[in-house]
Amino acid sequence: SQTPASGVEVSIVDHPEFGLTKSRADGYYDMALNGGGRYSVRLEYPGYLAALRQVEVPWGDFALVEDVVLVGLDREGTEVRFSELKEIA
């Protein structure tokens, strides 16, 4: 079962003028944008992979972004040495 996360940082890719916001305890957040375009919403939380979602924001209205499930980072890693990889033909 997934639970809403508070404190998820929400920003708009390539639009620092919109600033950022953070999600509330219920997982929802609010952010004001200029309408009439498509934006990429970036959601970040420490220890999890960032997620990107596209949203079309109409003029004089609001838009909802689909629910997002953030995936936790793996504690173990695998070292990959590209010099040792063989080319696949």
Mean pLDDT taken over the chain: 91
Residue type for position 22: K
Residue type for position 69: V
pLDDT at residue 52 greater than cutoff 70:
yes
pLDDT in tens, 57-84: 999 999 999 899 999 998 888 888 887 7
Which of these ranges, 1-5, 32-36, 51-55, 71-75, has the smallest mean pLDDT?
A: 1-5
Burial category of 21 from C-beta neighbours within 10 Å (exposed 0-12, middle 13-18, buried 19 and up): middle
Q: What is the pLDDT of residue 59?
A: 93
